[in-house]
Amino acid sequence: MNLDNLVKRGYRPWLPSSAASDIDVWHEYEVPLVGTFDNGGDTVLFALVGDADPDRQVSVWAYTVIGADEAQDATFDSSIELTDWVRDRFTLTQVLYAVALDFEILNWSEATKVDNIHEGAVEFIGHLLQTPDVRDALTRDPKRTFELVQAEAGVLVDLLPAAG
Taking only the tens place, the pLDDT of each residue in 121-153 is 888 988 887 877 777 776 677 677 677 766 776
> Residue 29: pLDDT above 50?
yes
pTM of the predicted structure, to 2 decimals: 0.85
Contact 4, 19 (CB under 8 A): no
Q: CA nearest 53: which of 24, 27, 26, 33?
A: 33
Count of domains forming the chain: 1
Q: CA nearest 44: which of 5, 84, 101, 92?
A: 5
35: domain range?
Answer: 3-163
* Mean pLDDT to the nearest integer, 15-37: 94
For the chain, the distance separating the N- and C-terminal CA atoms, rounded to the nearest angstrom, is 32
**Residues linked to residue 45 through DSSP beta bridges, in sequence order:** 36, 64
User: At residue 19, what are phi and psi to the nearest 5 degrees?
Assistant: -80, -15
> Residue 57: pLDDT above 50?
yes
Instruction: Provide the pLDDT for residue 154.
Output: 66
pLDDT digits (tens, 9 = 90+) for 77-114: 998 999 899 999 999 999 999 999 889 998 899 999 99
pLDDT band per the 50, 70, 90 thresholds, residue 163? very low
* Mean pLDDT to the nearest integer, 20-37: 93
Q: CA nearest 38: which of 53, 19, 54?
A: 19
Q: To 10 degrees, what angle do helices 132-139 and 142-163 make? A: 110
pLDDT band per the 50, 70, 90 thresholds, residue 14? very high
> Residue 52: pLDDT above 80?
no
* Mean pLDDT to the nearest integer, 28-37: 92
